[in-house]
Structure 1
């Protein structure tokens, strides 16, 4: 029993010692700042990109099509341009791909994207920044089953679905000593075959898609923040009134 207790203490100490190393590893991932915008035009464009390029393998089963009215789209526009996997506007944004097939084809089941921005935020601090960097960091890799790899998600199973828009990126790999005898690999991406969009246009398209993913993770966020501002203002006013009442009540008390 004593030996088992000592082993448990050693494991706990080991975990505590590793925490700084894990934190350092997390910080080592460089993320570009995502120009997230809640402007209706950006969200509508992002929704269009999401439905046409993402909603084939990835579902958004916690989101309903009629929720898109909150970003300024009418039911007619939603039905005519964005509903390819459902018949009724109140249906969830589901896909026909079965989880088992997705795992067999890509090596892992494509995750549901409804709250992907919030999930990445819990891991990297900003889900929008991670998604923005990720979608701009694919490069050609003939050693991967899909022919694609990613600088911030090495050996990713997902192919680059936006490659026709961005074109091909080529990885230039270099290695250097980190000063402790360890060889560190650095990957720099260079533009190969051009895509349908310029770099600036592609970055804007990705920014709109990421903005939509951030919005989809919490559609009520802006309303919640507005309500919160008014609540704080009301509390501040009540505090002033309460303070004035306190002074009036105790002014004759010695």
Structure 2
């Protein structure tokens, strides 16, 4: 009995840090990511952003370049637009930077993003990539509302522009953190003091959409097969249901 109690106490103590982490993340309201993995054009745009911007630091070792043909890209399009130099189309999405060098240059090795959408969730990624703001106390000059103290610089700052963190009074007098666009980027506008971020948000939605696809590429084909199966079952069962109805009601006047 005492052994069981000690095990329960140990398990509770182990879960305390996890609970604290979940509670700290719960203070940030995540925006809903407009995910549609059936939108091949969005996936293609997201793949282009990922390979041209993210893949310089972050690997995706569980993904091969030739899998991009599943989202409608031809082998030649991949070679011309997405394939890094000295890379074969059957290679995995790895990076040349070594882990040891990354720790020296960046302080920590950037994580592999193969299944980041499954571990973090689409809403988290979408909010994170739109949550950067200027912070001169940070080594990179940037911080993030969703992930405070993030070591990653804002690689899309030219698109989004500069945001600043401000504190406002929310419901019940509680302080809330909000981001305010103070300098427009190439994909944002300041119109009468209000921020128009539609174009930038759409790009980040495309990137998030691709990350969701990359975490489980087979889901696109699985959904397509699912629709076909449902249509087949519908066509198969509809006549049976019709004749069953006629047989059941034939003696009812």
> TM above 0.5, one fold?
yes
Q: Does 1:57 align with 2:57?
A: yes
Deviation (angstroms), 1:11: 3.7
Shift of 1:202: 0.2
Out of 210, 215, 218, the position equivalent to 1:217 is: 215
Does the aligned pair in 1 maintain the 2:134–2:143 contact within 8 Å? Answer: yes
RMSD of Structure 2 on Structure 1 (CA): 3.4
**Residue 172 of structure 1 corresponds to which residue in structure 2?**
166
SS at match of 1:152: coil
Q: Superposition pairs for residues 221-232 of structure 1, below 5 Å?
A: 221-228=219-226
> Cα offset for 1:6?
5.7
Secondary structure of 1:187 counterpart: strand
After TM superposition, list the pairs within 5 Å mapping 1:20-169 onto structure 2: 24-37=23-36, 38-120=38-120, 127-169=121-163
Q: Which runs of 5+ in 2 are unaligned?
A: 189-196, 241-253
In 2, the alpha carbon distance for the partners of 1:20 and 1:116 equals 21
d(CA) in 2 for partners of 1:191 and 1:133? 15
Report the more deviating stretch, 133-142 or 59-68.
59-68
1:252 equivalent in structure 2: none
Secondary structure at the counterpart of residue 154 of structure 1: coil
Structure 1's unaligned 5+ residue stretches are 121-126, 242-254
Q: Which residue of 1 aligns with 2:177?
A: 187
Deviations 1:187-209 (A, max 9, x none): 21111221111211000000001
Q: 1:88 Cα deviation (Å)?
A: 1.6
Matched residue count: 234
Contact 1:85 1:95 in 2 (8 A): no
Distance 2:137 2:102 in 1: 20
Match of 1:244 in 2: none
TM-score (norm 2): 0.78
